[in-house]
Structure 1
Amino acid sequence: MLSALRHSAIVIALGVCCSFAVFAKEPALGETASLQARHLATVFPGRMTGSPAEMLSAEYLQQQFQQWGYQSDVRQFHSRYTYTSKEGNKTWQNVTGSTVIAAREGELPEQIIIMAHLDTYAPHSDSDSDNNLGGLTLQGMDDNASGLGVMLELAQRLQHVKTRYTLRFIATSGEYTSHSGAEDYLARMSAKEKRNTLLVINLSSLIVGDHIYFNSGKNTPVAVRKLTRDRALTLARQLGIRALTSPGLSSAWPEGTGPTHDASVFDKAGIPVLAVEATDWSLGQHDGKQQRAKSKAFPSGTSRHDVTRDNQQYLDHWLPGQVEKRTRAVMKVMLPLVEDLANPQISHTNKKIKV
């Protein structure tokens, strides 16, 4: 049964992939990201760590990377989390997750990692299930098909761009099992590879918020913040894109407190981090009719893991055009930023990014 499901899903995925190429030889910036995000959300809902949907989506991502000439594989890892019943009983849930890794070597051994988590929220209690949080029907359009879509378009557009630094794309799983996929990846990195990792860019939940946030990790050096976070903010503002840093939201982080998602694993290890997200579901100030619609659609206290809200149909109804608008905006900033970072001026003394 699983084999048949796997085969049919891959056939559908490859068919959609081919349709991208037929649709236009050179899609507009952000178009591929939005198409990929919609495809991942609708064809692979319920991408919980260890689920069939997660395995199938990992295979699809690997095939996309390989199609564009990247060396890619899927790495499995083991994890577990506690599940709490209505009676308060806690039991361990053991899962085997999948992490997709793709890379293209640069002229130098140093690397830039671009990552986005592929898993959706798994209910951790009967209360979660009763409140439609996570599960087999959660599309995770915002969290985090949107991040995966942008990562895929970056990989596609950079496939023929010569870079001095190696580019490595990682679709992690296990974000909602204590960042177990990111922890597993970090644990397998050699000391030399860690030293050679100049930056980790994390893409997460890019659609709903009023602004795009560019945040540096707590342990990211000031010089690197200027080249990454500050440069991203400058590009955004030049393009008329709403962008902020350090919003102090629970899903992001104020200066000095550090990230709370997969990027935190690398931040704690002392590896520079740039997090790109738009996660203020409670929403800030906006103009007129759209803000009233947002406030009604995402009232205060709304969970990002709500099955009834984080899906393509709901977002298109309440935020028409937002998926395409936001993926285009993120790509407008991230593509030139990554191109510049991957082809820096090199210091002859240490071959690091020259400030």
Structure 2
Amino acid sequence: MFSFSRMKQTLLALSLSGVCMGHAMAESVPLPALGMIASQQIRHIATYFPGRMAGSPAELIAADYLNQQFNKLGYKSDLRGFDTRYLYTSNTGKKNWQNIHATSVIAARAGEVPQQIIVMAHFDTYVPQSDNDTNHNLGGLTLQGVDDNASGVGVMLELAERMQAIPTHYSLRFVALSAEETGAKGAEDFVNRMSAEEKKNTLLVINMDSLITGDRLYFNSGENTSVAVAKLTRIKALSIARSLGIPAQSHEGTHCCDGIKALDDAHLPLLNVTATNFALGKKDGVQQRAITRHFPLGNTRYQSQFDSLQYLDKALPGRIEKRSRDTVKVLFPLLKDLAKPAKHA
């Protein structure tokens, strides 16, 4: 159970967060080097909002923090609550539905036209869904979720901060999803609430997930994304990466849309960004890196002892900063180009 003392500590951190994260509110203050905002946000979210499981107090406090960040940047941002559930399996094999109320964050800024580009990342951490999960310390209150997925949220926040002063032709929407770790319910809820017109007006969804642990960055298009859109997005991202000497690949397969399959099923154009290694194991991307003493399972997913700041800083020194920098260096110019400068700018 979420302790009252932990909640007080988190709320205190939240009240102080405006001091450490307000570096770019004034236009006269130059932004830090590319990637610095993202890495600071990754560390902040992982430190002060561990165990942000869908429906938990930590998730709600984290959602409120993200909502505040977007509002400070001048976006119209709101919390979006929704009811969902997941199956919990006991050691005896008995299955019970667990009902939860999850909260996503939706921020938007209108462009000159209603057509929009969506930047998305889930911020919730893994909820133990069986006694076996609990016995193996998967998920739970201590999981910082640095890789999965403070990393994607941190990059999203930097992109939002860098885009906030740039008038664009197309509208922008930044979406921090919850309940991704309970059967991708957050993406389902988001799609189900979109009108037919909103779907039609969505030019692209850029989704970011697990950017730190994996061997290299992958830029993958959705299975239902057209060749024309893929050329303007995935191929362009790879071109930018290679021009900067950033190792990046593409893997078109059935695992391009894990966690956001509802968006692909709705035929929304997708660019999914992650770090893994599709050449290993079953070529499904689940094994993020070679099995070593530091990474006995070849990944850090859901594991509190590995997906933490302390462990990743020790096992992969400098990786958080480097991946933040590399990802922003690719996605910021791509997003800026795709959103197009406003005609009056």
Q: Distance in 1 between matches of 2:68 and 2:342?
A: 33
Aligned match for 1:341, one of 333, 338, 343:
338
The code of the aligned residue for 1:322 comes to R
The alignment status of 1:330 with 2:327, answered yes or no, reads yes
* Structure 2 match to 1:264: 261
Deviations along 1:143-196, one digit per CA (max 9) or x if unpaired, are 000000000000000001011100100000011111111111111111000000
* Structure 2 match to 1:205: 210
Q: For 1:103, what is the secondary structure of its paired residue?
A: strand
CA contact (8 A) 1:141 1:311 kept: yes
CA contact (8 A) 2:159 2:332 kept: yes
Q: CA deviation at 1:328?
A: 0.1
- Percent sequence identity over aligned pairs: 54
* Alignment CA distance shift 1:258-1:269 (3 Å): farther
CA contact (8 A) 1:283 1:295 kept: no
* Structure 2 match to 1:8: 12
Question: After the TM superposition, which residues 163-202 of structure 1 pair with which residues of structure 2 at under 5 Å, given as runs?
Answer: 163-202=168-207
Q: CA deviation at 1:295?
A: 2.7
Aligned match for 2:222, one of 203, 217, 225:
217
Aligned match for 1:62, one of 56, 61, 67:
67
Q: CA deviation at 1:223?
A: 0.3
Q: Distance in 2 between matches of 1:27 and 1:127?
A: 44
The alignment status of 1:42 with 2:39, answered yes or no, reads no
CA contact (8 A) 2:221 2:270 kept: yes
* Structure 2 match to 1:295: 292
- TM-score, normalising length: structure 1: 0.87
Q: Distance in 2 between matches of 1:126 and 1:108?
A: 50
The code of the aligned residue for 2:90 comes to S
The alignment status of 1:97 with 2:96, answered yes or no, reads no
Aligned match for 1:83, one of 85, 88, 92:
88
The number of equivalent residue pairs is 330
Q: CA deviation at 1:15?
A: 3.3
- TM-score, normalising length: structure 2: 0.90
Aligned match for 1:275, one of 268, 272, 277:
272
Q: For 2:199, what is the secondary structure of its paired residue?
A: helix
Q: For 1:10, what is the secondary structure of its paired residue?
A: helix
Q: Distance in 1 between matches of 2:261 and 2:203?
A: 15
Q: Distance in 2 between matches of 1:125 and 1:281?
A: 28
Q: Distance in 2 between matches of 1:205 and 1:321?
A: 16
* Alignment CA distance shift 1:258-1:138 (3 Å): closer
Q: CA deviation at 1:227?
A: 0.2
CA contact (8 A) 1:9 1:56 kept: no
Q: CA deviation at 1:21?
A: 7.1
Q: For 2:133, what is the secondary structure of its paired residue?
A: helix
Deviations along 1:120-164, one digit per CA (max 9) or x if unpaired, are 000111111111110000000000000000000000000010111
Q: Distance in 2 between matches of 1:338 and 1:69?
A: 18
Q: For 2:114, what is the secondary structure of its paired residue?
A: coil
* Alignment CA distance shift 1:183-1:211 (3 Å): same
Q: For 2:267, what is the secondary structure of its paired residue?
A: coil
The code of the aligned residue for 1:297 comes to H
* Structure 2 match to 1:27: 32
* Alignment CA distance shift 1:198-1:264 (3 Å): same
* Alignment CA distance shift 1:226-1:188 (3 Å): same
Q: CA deviation at 1:7?
A: 3.9
Q: For 1:55, what is the secondary structure of its paired residue?
A: helix
Deviations along 1:266-314, one digit per CA (max 9) or x if unpaired, are 1110111000000349979xxxxxxx99832113454511110000000
* Structure 1 match to 2:308: 311
Deviations along 1:225-271, one digit per CA (max 9) or x if unpaired, are 0000000000000000000000xxxxxxx43x353423321111011
The code of the aligned residue for 1:90 comes to K
Q: CA deviation at 1:96?
A: 0.5
RMSD: 2.4
The code of the aligned residue for 1:111 comes to Q
CA contact (8 A) 1:199 1:274 kept: yes
Q: For 1:278, what is the secondary structure of its paired residue?
A: strand
Q: CA deviation at 1:344?
A: 7.8
